[in-house]
Amino acid sequence: MKDFELKLPDTLAAAVGELPAAYSRDGAQVLAGGQDIVTVMKDDIEQPAALVSLQRLGLDGMKWDERGGLTIGATVTIQTLAEDARVEQVLPALREAARSVGSPQIRSQGTVGGNLNQRPRCPYYRHPSVSCFKKGGSVCLAEFGFNKYAAIFGGGPSYYSHPSDLATALVMLGATASITGPDGERQVPLTELYVLPEETLDTETVLRPDEILTSVSIPAPAADARASYLKYKECASYDFALAAVAVSVSRGDDGVVTDARVVLGGVAPKPWEVPAAARALVGKRMEPEAWTAAGEAAVADADPLEHNGYKVHLVKGLLFRALEALV
């Protein structure tokens, strides 16, 4: 890892002013908790000449509105979410997603903004000596090589899977990101924050190099909505999702599902919403037959590679268990 200059701006405008208008491998980048950007630098993917710290910008707060919606600053730690009693009560799926991230040490340093903006964890992409398609090579080596952790949805021409647990839960919760750049602030629904590799290989989000994600806002959940987050990982402690499910269900007085939302994690280059799975639940009672049908609908468009077909079965099982937990 090369030497870099640490910038410590006191205002958001000053922080934005330190960032480059166009992407370059050695251009200044944002530093929140450092859990991802430092590994990116160690893996020789990026070598920014400067890191622009967000720690003095007052982005470490959480604010509830009168309706029960929540705005979370970009530098709020993941451990703060995991330990917050009101988050546990009002947004239990978000708390479960936060608790599933890494280890207590990683959660105490890692931030919400950093978790949402993680770079891919594909071993080919992360290897300093490998020139994969996403790093300018001629082919995605995961397509016909080691693809145990690769995407089964939305892949091609690069088959990485998105590593963020919080993003999966926040998409399900209908969250919106606040983004600030030289032209001011803009609001981007999290459903529109991430891009597929067929759109661009330079980045995984719509953020421009001179923009900063400053907060995430979650609307108040419906009074009759219940939600859960469930993740399967290879190691019991610190690990990324092989597959994850975030699901929300609303039911009428008769017990019939009136609304549902299903988002998958660890299986696509971005949080993968599956409206077909939600439609399989609406109009049905919360019973095993409906959960099985939702699972089949969730993976109907899956396109696994040679070594990751197990993710199809994982998704179906996780969705069944996540729905069962809501009864």
Q: What pLDDT, in 10s, does the model give residues 179-196?
A: 999 999 999 999 999 999
| Element spanning 165, H or E | helix 165-172
pLDDT band at residue 321 using 50, 70 and 90 as cut-offs? very high
- Helix, strand, coil % (nearest 5) of the chain? 30, 20, 50
What DSSP string describes 56-120? TSS---EEE-TTS-EEEETT-BHHHHHH-HHHHHH-HHHHHHHHTSS-HHHHHH-BHHHHHTPPP
pLDDT of residue 1: 84
Q: What pLDDT, in 10s, does the model give residues 197-212?
A: 999 999 999 999 999 9
Average pLDDT over residues 234-259: 93
Judged against a pLDDT cut of 80, whether residue 50 lies above it is answered with: yes
Q: What pLDDT, in 10s, does the model give residues 203-241?
A: 999 999 999 999 999 999 999 999 999 999 998 777 899
pLDDT band at residue 143 using 50, 70 and 90 as cut-offs? very high
pLDDT of residue 291: 98
pLDDT of residue 299: 98
Q: What pLDDT, in 10s, does the model give residues 120-141?
A: 999 999 999 999 999 999 999 9
pLDDT band at residue 25 using 50, 70 and 90 as cut-offs? confident
Q: Which domains does the chain possess? A: 225-324 (3.30.390.50)
Judged against a pLDDT cut of 90, whether residue 65 lies above it is answered with: yes
pLDDT of residue 232: 96
pLDDT of residue 236: 74
Cα distance between the two ends of the chain: 50
The pair of three-digit structure tokens given for residue 160, joined into one six-digit string:
């990485």
pLDDT of residue 24: 87
Does pTM top 0.95 for this prediction? Answer: yes
> How far is 237 from 233, CA to CA, in rounded Å?
9
Q: What pLDDT, in 10s, does the model give residues 165-183?
A: 999 999 999 999 999 999 9
pLDDT of residue 253: 93
pLDDT of residue 235: 85
pLDDT of residue 239: 84
Are the C-beta atoms of 32 and 114 separated by less than 8 Å? yes
